[in-house]
């Protein structure tokens, strides 16, 4: 039997049972105020009660337990008894936690945060997972609506961008979201009502991605094989080709951060990917987050991994993996020194490809990314005139249209695009086609079967649509990520050794899918 909440918007921390009042009966909800319609509607439904003195206190911050409780009623969450707890909302809080609306570290079941104000970012995450779990938001269009997007932690990108995409959120007058700020009771009512109304429509009604009207290409005849068969790569038009000028497609895996998972970039791990068909491996050398800038010794891990790739006769991408440090100019001098050293080491090695800025973000193409790329390309070209160089673009390497409008001069340059099947769809594919049509060579140096934060899913139908799209355009790719991290984008189950030969039982759902498509 389903157990539902007997009361929803209780204000007193002890559980009470009172008759819902209309907004007109709340003595502090003024007629004509911006929040009056939402409070009126929710009062009629029976979701709200007020204080004993007849007030509602619309400007007061809503607590975590209050917000989760009313969201649970709106979503029809089945409430199960919690472990022994005297807190009035323990049952609903632990039921919501079990349903995956939030994570343990965000609101621990030990109850100490139940009665604390909930942040706007966490409230939106709970709201979207409860009422609109299939909604998604496009980074390119939606992040630009948020003037303080830089203050939003990555774990909240997807729910917040989805909320903007479908109209749950609109931001302040200045375009700010204020992610860490508390949410008022009036704001909570407005958001909950919007989301509950949208919950009555279908995902296709909520979103209207652009239709790709460009001519659909046919895949070019391509060659397979490894470095010994194809030699030094080159770019002809928009196509990656081998030394003989034949179109080639590279497919393989990207490591996770080398500072965290160096064992999965060793000789045995790389050999395992080759046995399953990979002919390229990407080395994600983070610059921040304990990466190269604070730990230069990580360069030795890169060198060892390059050597392992050479021994396995595959191509290898050395990735300057900027992420939280979104402006590539921040560490320009370190990048120049690093790529100068790498070019000196590998100028005669056809295996090596350079990816010079993983995912620039909160920057512009003309102001930061292109000037940075000009400097790094020049540093590499002073030593190695032929190596393939991969260049990122703003908005996590998705602003291909900006690069296509003003690309760098030179040869053997390609531009990266990153996508995650649970987050990105038709709009980004349209952008890829437009960039290709404008003559921009593209390499998909990172993609995943999850959402953009590495979790959620696995989104196999969407991923299949993406891989068919890439195949039709003969685009090379590296999938995220070769590690055993407990997230849905990882290809190995937790605890899998990098040194054993992997069976299908060692692979996650993501791993089985990705490896099955490497040899398509």
Distance (Å, whole) CA 486 – CA 225: 32
**DSSP for 440-485, written as a single string:** --EEEEEEESS-TTS-S---HHHHHHHHHHHHHTT--EEEEEES--
Query: If you ran DSSP here, which 8-state letter would residue 99 be given?
Result: T
Within 8 A by CB and 6+ apart from 150, the residues are 326, 362
β-bridge mates for residue 413, sequence order: 389
Question: Taking the chain, what is the end-to-end CA distance rounded to the nearest angstrom?
Answer: 48
Q: Which two tokens stand for residue 265?
A: 């970039």
Distance (Å, whole) CA 67 – CA 189: 9
Query: If you ran DSSP here, which 8-state letter would residue 88 be given?
Result: T
Instruction: Verify whether residue 487 is a known catalytic residue.
Output: no
Give the distance from CA 40 to its chain's centroid: 37
What is the dihedral angle through the alpha carbons of 321, 325, 326, 328, rounded to the nearest 10 degrees?
A: -70
Given the residues 355, 359, 462, 487, select the one marked as catalytic: 359
Query: If you ran DSSP here, which 8-state letter would residue 201 be given?
Result: S
Coil, helix or strand for 124?
A: helix
Distance (Å, whole) CA 463 – CA 80: 35
Given the residues 66, 446, 462, 487, select the one marked as catalytic: 446
Instruction: Verify whether residue 359 is a known catalytic residue.
Output: yes
Coil, helix or strand for 126?
A: helix
Nearest to 223 by CA among 478, 476, 517: 476
Coil, helix or strand for 283?
A: strand
Coil, helix or strand for 509?
A: helix
Within 8 A by CB and 6+ apart from 260, the residues are 290, 483, 485
Distance (Å, whole) CA 227 – CA 235: 16
CA angle 285, 286, 292 (to 5 degrees): 80
Please list the active-site residues.
Answer: 359, 446
């Amino acid at each position: 039997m389903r157990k539902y909440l007997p009361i929803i918007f209780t204000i007193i921390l002890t559980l009470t049972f009172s008759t819902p009042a209309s907004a007109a009966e709340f003595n502090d909800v003024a007629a004509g105020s911006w929040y009056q319609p939402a409070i009126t509607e929710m009062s009629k439904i029976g979701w709200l009660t007020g204080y004993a003195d007849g007030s509602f206190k619309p400007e007061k911050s809503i607590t975590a337990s209050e917000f989760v409780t009313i969201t649970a009623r709106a979503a029809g969450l089945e409430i199960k008894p919690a472990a022994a707890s005297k807190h009035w909302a323990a049952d609903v809080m632990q039921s919501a936690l079990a349903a995956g609306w939030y994570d343990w570290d965000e609101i621990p079941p030990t109850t100490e945060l139940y009665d604390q104000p909930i942040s706007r970012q966490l409230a939106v995450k709970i709201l979207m997972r409860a009422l609109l779990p299939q909604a998604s938001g496009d980074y390119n269009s939606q992040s630009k609506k948020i003037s303080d997007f830089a203050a939003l932690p990555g774990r909240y990108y997807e729910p917040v961008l989805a909320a903007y995409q479908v109209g749950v959120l609109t931001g302040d007058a200045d375009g700010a979201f204020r992610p860490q700020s508390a949410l008022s009771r009036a704001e909570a009512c407005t958001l909950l009502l919007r989301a509950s109304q949208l919950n009555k429509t279908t995902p296709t009604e909520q979103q209207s991605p652009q239709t790709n009207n460009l001519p659909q290409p046919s895949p070019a005849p391509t060659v397979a094989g490894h470095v010994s068969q194809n030699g030094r790569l080159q770019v002809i038009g928009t196509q990656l080709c081998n030394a003989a000028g034949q179109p080639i497609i590279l497919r393989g895996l990207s490591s996770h951060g080398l500072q965290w998972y160096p064992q999965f970039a060793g000789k045995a791990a790389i050999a395992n990917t080759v046995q399953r068909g990979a002919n390229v491996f990407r080395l994600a050398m983070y610059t921040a987050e304990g990466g190269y800038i604070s730990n230069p010794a990580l360069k030795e891990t890169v060198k060892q991994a390059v050597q392992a790739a050479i021994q396995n006769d595959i191509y290898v991408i050395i990735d300057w993996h900027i992420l939280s440090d979104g402006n590539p100019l921040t560490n320009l001098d370190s990048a120049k020194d690093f790529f100068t050293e790498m070019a000196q080491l590998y100028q005669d090695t056809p295996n090596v490809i350079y990816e010079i800025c993983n995912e620039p973000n909160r920057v512009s193409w003309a102001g930061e990314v292109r000037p940075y790329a000009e400097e790094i390309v020049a540093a590499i070209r002073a030593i190695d005139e032929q190596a393939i160089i991969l260049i990122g673009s703003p908005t996590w390497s998705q602003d291909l249209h900006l690069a296509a409008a003003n690309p760098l001069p030179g040869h053997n340059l390609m531009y990266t695009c990153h996508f995650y099947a649970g987050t990105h769809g038709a709009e980004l594919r349209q952008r890829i086609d437009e960039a290709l049509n404008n003559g921009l060579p593209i390499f998909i140096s990172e993609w995943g079967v999850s959402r953009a934060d590495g979790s959620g899913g696995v989104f196999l139908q969407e991923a299949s649509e993406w891989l068919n799209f890439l195949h039709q355009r003969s685009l090379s790719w590296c999938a995220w990520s070769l590690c055993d991290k407990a997230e849905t984008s990882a290809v190995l189950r937790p605890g899998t050794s990098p040194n054993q030969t992997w069976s299908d039982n060692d692979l996650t759902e993501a791993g089985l899918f990705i490896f099955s498509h490497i040899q398509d």
